[in-house]
Amino acid sequence: MSREVRDLPTRVPAAGLPDAVTIYEVGARDGLQNEKAVVPVEVKAEFLDRLADAGLGTLEATSFVHPTWVPQLADAEELLARLPRRPGIDYPVLVPNDRGLDRALAAGVGHVAIFGSATETFARRNLNRTLDEQFAMFAPVVTRARREGLRVRGYVSMCFGDPWEGRVDPAQVADVGRRLMEMGCSQLSLGDTIGTGTPGHVAAVLDACVAAGVPIGNIAVHFHDTYGQALANTLAALRRGVTTVDASAGGLGGCPYAESATGNLATEDLVWMLDGLGIDHGADLDALVATSVWMARQLGRPSPSRVVRALAGE
C-alpha cells in the first residue's frame, strides 16, 4: 500500500470536541530528567530544534531545580544559551523556588512552571512541605514572576491516585488547583503521575475543578500511559472542553512511583488520534517520528511510542 493509504488515519470528526488543541511538549524536560545517564547538552539543543522544525510551538526546555536533585538537567543555563529563540516558539522552564526563578530570569525566559501536589504525602516527599505549606513556598515565586511579566503554569501531581495514599478525592484536587489559580497561575496542568486514571475519573476531576471556579479553558492535562489509558483519558478531557494536552516526543519519560511505568503520553500517538478526529494541532507527524527515531538512537533504545514504531518500521 502507499504511504498515503496505509499510514494516515481516516479523518472522521466527532461532535463535542474542540476544533484545535495546543500540544505542550515536555520531552526535553519531563522526558530527559528521568534518564539514568546525562544526555549531552548539544543533543538536547538539537532535540528541541528538531521539535520546533516539526511544528510544535510550546517546548518545555528544562528545569532550574538544584543539580543535586536532578543532575540530568544541571546544564539548564548552557542549554538555553545554545537555543536559537525562534519567534512564535515558547520555551517554558520549571522553577521550584525563588532561586530557580532567579536563574530563569537571568536566562531571559518568559514562561515558568511550578510543581505542586494534590496529596499530603507527595508534598512531603517531593517538596518537604505539607499540602498547605507548599502554597506558602510558591506564593512569592508566582507573585514575582507575574510582576516580571512572566506567565506561570501550575503543575499538580497525583491528581488521579497516589502510591502511598491511594485514591485522591477530586474535590481535593480542585481545591489545590483553585488555590494555585488564585495565587496567579495562568494555567493548571493536572497530572496522572502514576497513570491510574480512567476516562470517567478524568471527567469527575475536571468537573470538580470547574465547580471550584477553575475555568476549563485554563486547564491542561498530563497523562502517563502506565496502564494504557493515556489516549482514552485525553479524549475524555477533550470532551470536557480541555484544549491543551501535555505530551512527550517518542513517549520519553517514566514514572518512578509505579512499577512498569511506560512514561508520558507520546506526542506522535496524540497527533495520530487528533488527525483522525480532524482536530488541528500544527505538528508534522513525519517530522515528529523522524525526531523520535533520532533521539531513540541517541539514547540507545527504541521509542515506546506505538505510532513511531508503526511508521518507522521499528
Give the three-class secondary structure for 246: strand
Enter the C-alpha cell of residue 302: 527504541
- Cβ 305 vs Cβ 288: under 8 Å: no
**Whole-number Å distance between alpha carbons of 47 and 26:** 12
What are the Cα distances from residue 10, in Å, to 6, 272, 274, 277? 10, 10, 11, 8
What are the Cα distances from residue 171, in Å, to 86, 131, 212, 215? 40, 14, 8, 15
Give the three-class secondary structure for 162: strand
- Residues with a catalytic annotation lie at 255
Residue with cell 504525602: 121
Residue with cell 488541528: 280
- Cβ 116 vs Cβ 176: under 8 Å: yes
Give, in degrees to the nearest 5, the angle at Cα 178 between 176 and 179: 65
**Which candidate, 278, 283, 243, 242, places its Cα nearest to that of 266?**
283
Sheet (strand 187-192) strand order:
58-59, 22-25, 244-247, 219-223, 187-192, 151-157, 111-117, 93-94, 62-63
- Cβ 156 vs Cβ 190: under 8 Å: yes
Q: What are phi and psi of 280, to 5 degrees?
A: -70, 145
